[in-house]
């Protein structure tokens, strides 16, 4: 997140805009004014806030996507919550320990980072942060030890043996929980406590040299680092969800401009294919997820490969909810799924893109298409990636000038 546009907002606000209605396949205003009003009224957050509770109009479509897999009920969604089976806490007497006074000095800023008040007293809050931070730091260090710096791949980290975590499903569940928006710890807390812990480690000569906290985090989430971004000390990361979004975006200098023109109509992949459009999967796996290319001369739309599985919806919903709250005017992830929603209106469209190697999924095609379409329901859009808007215009023109469209129009007369 380079530059001023990526720094922490003093205040996040969603301007009343458009809401995508997946039932009508177009952007509507009249039937969604109440939703827009609710969102724009409530998405005003205090200075320093960067961790948000997802609004009810979004979370009602899939409550589980925003909830840790082992959520204890006693605290609510205010911290990194891991079930007793997953949360192998190291306090006390474990690998990671630190003096709670370090947390006490940060408590005020920690509380300001959350959109919802933390319903705990000072001592309980400090201890909760200590337990969570120690777990995150130890888990990250264990992953760092077993994650080769030159390897890259979307699933390797869940297939390797990590000491103390012998079940791949458990590891992936932990990784998923660490990326949930409501489940975040501010990165400045993890960084400060990690620095203190490392200073303690350095007194033990038999232990290896430890990397800076930001490098450790980059290594932990390397499978999501599609552009091989390197840690930049001048670039603030607010928390792990923020880091996840950063990894998916194009580098700042390559990011498309944004405009007020929204995609309100686009033909589906099956309709476009019938009109003669060719679809091609990008040559590099998992590379430049958001970078679609349309060539009118070759009559081809090139789309990066996209894995669609159980965790896809969890990651996507949390990233989109984060953009609604914190990056409303730079919602590049949301733009991508708006475009995908128009392309994949039916199971047949998903089947087509799966057969061509663009979508990789074991889902039933109808269920997968429904999941993609529901992602955009009630999303407020105030601006759009201009590249996507131009692609939608080009594809619409291509279809409407095709013989198929002219035949259909003639049959309707």
pLDDT single digits (tens) 283-314: 765 557 889 999 999 999 999 999 899 899 99
pLDDT single digits (tens) 179-206: 999 999 999 999 999 988 887 766 655 6
CA 390 to chain centre: 24
pTM reported for the whole predicted model = 0.82
List the structure tokens of 94: 């474990």
Adjacency order of strands within the sheet including 293-295: 278-281, 300-303, 293-295
The answer to whether 344 and 350 have CB atoms below 8 angstroms apart is: yes
d(CA 19, CA 328): 13
Nearest to 313 by CA among 72, 57, 40, 61: 61
Higher pLDDT, 377 or 269: 269
d(CA 171, CA 181): 18
Mean pLDDT over each residue of the chain, to the nearest integer: 79
- Domain ranges in the chain? 51-237, 254-412
Nearest to 242 by CA among 195, 305, 178: 178
List the structure tokens of 185: 């710890």
List the structure tokens of 399: 């279809």
pLDDT single digits (tens) 307-348: 899 899 999 999 999 999 999 999 999 999 999 999 999 999
d(CA 338, CA 264): 10
d(CA 286, CA 276): 26
pLDDT single digits (tens) 82-91: 433 334 334 4
d(CA 50, CA 326): 7
Residues near 160 by beta carbon (within 8 Å), at least 6 away in sequence: 146, 147
List the structure tokens of 338: 């708006």
The answer to whether 391 and 294 have CB atoms below 8 angstroms apart is: yes
């Amino acid at each position: 997140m380079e530059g001023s546009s990526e720094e922490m907002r003093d205040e996040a606000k969603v301007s009343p805009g458009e809401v995508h209605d997946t039932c009508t396949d177009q952007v509507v205003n009249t039937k969604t004014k109440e939703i827009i009003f609710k969102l724009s009224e409530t998405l005003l957050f205090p200075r320093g806030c960067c961790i948000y509770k997802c609004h009810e109009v979004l979370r009602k479509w899939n409550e589980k996507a925003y909830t840790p897999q082992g959520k204890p009920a006693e605290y609510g969604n205010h911290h990194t919550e891991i079930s007793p089976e997953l949360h192998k806490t190291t306090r006390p007497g474990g690998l990671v320990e630190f003096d709670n006074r370090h947390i006490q000095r940060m408590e005020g800023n920690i509380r300001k980072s959350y959109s919802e008040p933390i319903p705990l007293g000072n001592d309980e809050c400090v201890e909760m942060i200590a337990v969570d931070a120690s777990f995150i730091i130890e888990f990250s260090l264990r992953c760092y030890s077993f994650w080769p710096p030159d390897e890259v791949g979307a699933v390797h980290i869940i297939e390797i043996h990590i000491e103390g975590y012998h079940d791949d499903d458990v590891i992936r569940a932990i990784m998923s929980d660490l990326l949930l928006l409501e489940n975040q710890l501010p990165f400045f807390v993890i960084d400060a406590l990690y620095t203190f812990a490392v200073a303690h480690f350095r007194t033990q000569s038999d232990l290896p040299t430890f990397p800076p906290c930001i490098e450790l985090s980059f290594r932990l989430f390397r499978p999501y680092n599609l552009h091989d971004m390197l840690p930049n000390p001048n670039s603030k990361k607010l928390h792990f969800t923020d880091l996840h979004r950063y990894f998916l975006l194009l580098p700042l200098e390559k990011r498309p401009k944004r405009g007020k023109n929204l995609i309100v109509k686009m033909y589906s992949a099956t309709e476009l294919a019938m009109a003669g459009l060719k679809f091609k999967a990008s040559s590099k796996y998992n590379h430049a997820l958001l970078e679609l290319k349309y060539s009118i001369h070759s009559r081809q739309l090139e789309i990066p490969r996209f894995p669609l599985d159980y965790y896809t919806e969890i990651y996507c919903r949390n990233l989109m909810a984060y953009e609604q709250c914190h990056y409303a005017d730079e919602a590049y992830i949301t733009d991508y799924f708006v475009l995908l929603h128009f392309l994949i209106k039916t199971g047949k469209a998903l089947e087509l893109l799966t057969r061509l190697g663009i979508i990789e999924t074991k889902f039933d095609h109808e269920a997968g298409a429904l999941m993609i379409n529901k992602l955009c329901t009630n999303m407020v859009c105030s601006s759009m990636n201009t590249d996507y808007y131009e692609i939608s215009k080009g594809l619409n023109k291509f279809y409407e000038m095709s013989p198929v469209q002219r035949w259909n129009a003639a049959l309707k007369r």
